[in-house]
């Protein structure tokens, strides 16, 4: 249930399910973020990376495991699409920085961006050609292609707020 504060009074809006979409997040700041969110939510759903360390989940939080492979991500995307289709009031919070491929533009889709390399003007031809460079390049392409689907953006630092113009033009 989502509560909204209007004029210092809490009012219940519609019953909404929070869906945390977090494939690929299992260490560092992303792990800390998941740990802090999980401790404060109920009746929610998380798409969690299979490498995520054991976290104490509330019994009302359902966990869907996502394997870190192309097929694993594809299956997770299809499951998310099916769930969102049945629960149109759900709020989808993408912690991995890239909107889901199969979902349409959605006012309840929140994109959390924590890696400025996806927004910076990177000269890929100047970087060494390796798997990391390829992943960054493909992530940037996906973000450019899918950014229009998100209605709300959350950035991790004040420095990333400089990229607002980029986010708005998409």
- Residue by residue, DSSP assigns 25-67 as --SHHHHHHHHHHHTT--S-EEEEETTPPP----TT-EEEEE-
How far apart are alpha carbons 6 and 23 in whole angstroms?
34
How far apart are alpha carbons 108 and 88 in whole angstroms?
9
How far apart are alpha carbons 167 and 41 in whole angstroms?
28
Q: Which CATH class is domain 3-169?
A: alpha beta
Least trusted range by pLDDT, from 37-41, 63-67, 69-73 = 37-41
pTM: 0.78
Torsion of CA 71, 149, 168, 70, to 10 degrees: 0
**What is the pLDDT confidence band of residue 1, given thresholds at 50, 70 and 90?**
very low
**What is the pLDDT confidence band of residue 35, given thresholds at 50, 70 and 90?**
confident
Mean pLDDT within 8-18: 62
Q: What is the pLDDT of residues 119-143, one digit of tens each?
A: 767 777 778 888 888 888 888 888 8
Q: For residue 41, which of 93, 5, 78 has the smallest C-alpha distance?
A: 93
């Amino acid at each position: 249930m989502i509560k909204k504060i209007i004029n210092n009074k809490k009012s219940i809006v519609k019953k909404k399910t929070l869906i945390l979409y977090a494939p690929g997040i299992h260490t560092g700041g992303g792990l800390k973020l998941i740990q802090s969110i999980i401790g404060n939510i109920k009746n929610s759903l998380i798409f969690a990376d299979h490498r995520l360390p054991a976290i104490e989940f509330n019994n009302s939080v359902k966990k869907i495991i996502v394997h870190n492979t192309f097929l694993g991500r594809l299956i997770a995307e299809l499951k998310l699409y099916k769930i969102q289709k049945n629960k149109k009031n759900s709020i989808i919070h993408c912690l991995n920085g890239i909107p889901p491929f199969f979902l349409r533009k959605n006012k309840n889709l929140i994109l959390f961006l924590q890696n400025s390399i996806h927004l910076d003007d990177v000269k890929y031809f100047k970087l060494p050609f390796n798997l990391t460079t390829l992943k960054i390049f493909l992530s940037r392409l996906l973000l450019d292609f899918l950014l229009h689907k998100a209605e709300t953006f959350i950035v991790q630092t004040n420095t990333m707020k400089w990229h607002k113009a980029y986010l708005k033009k998409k």
